[in-house]
Amino acid sequence: MDDSWKTLPLNKRRELLDKFKLLEKHSSLKDTQGLEKLTSKWKEACKAAFADLYTLAKDKNPDQKLSMPDLARHLGIDKDILDIEDSDEE
């Protein structure tokens, strides 16, 4: 950007500054929304992978009573991240 803004009257400089601030706010909001969408996709993928692991564990050990919260605790995974309730007995 050239230095032509330096010759603008003060009110025009403030207008320009306000426009830049608005653009900055909009671009960071867009980045936040994109990050939220990406986080949601990763969370769903993790939940699906955990469900697959749970199914494999139950199939491999049908005599052992295993719940999703138990498996999550055993693996050190916070059950709240996976939206697992303690009462889920599958």
pLDDT in tens, 25-73: 777 777 777 888 888 999 999 999 999 999 999 999 889 888 999 999 9
The reply to whether the predicted model has a pTM over 0.75 is no
State the pLDDT confidence band at 90, using cuts at 50, 70 and 90: very low
Phi-psi bin for 34: left (phi > 0), alpha (psi -120 to 50), beta?
Answer: alpha
Band the pLDDT of 87: cuts 50, 70, 90. low
Amino acid at 54: Y
The residue-averaged pLDDT of 13-30 equals 82
Place of tokens 């749970």: 54
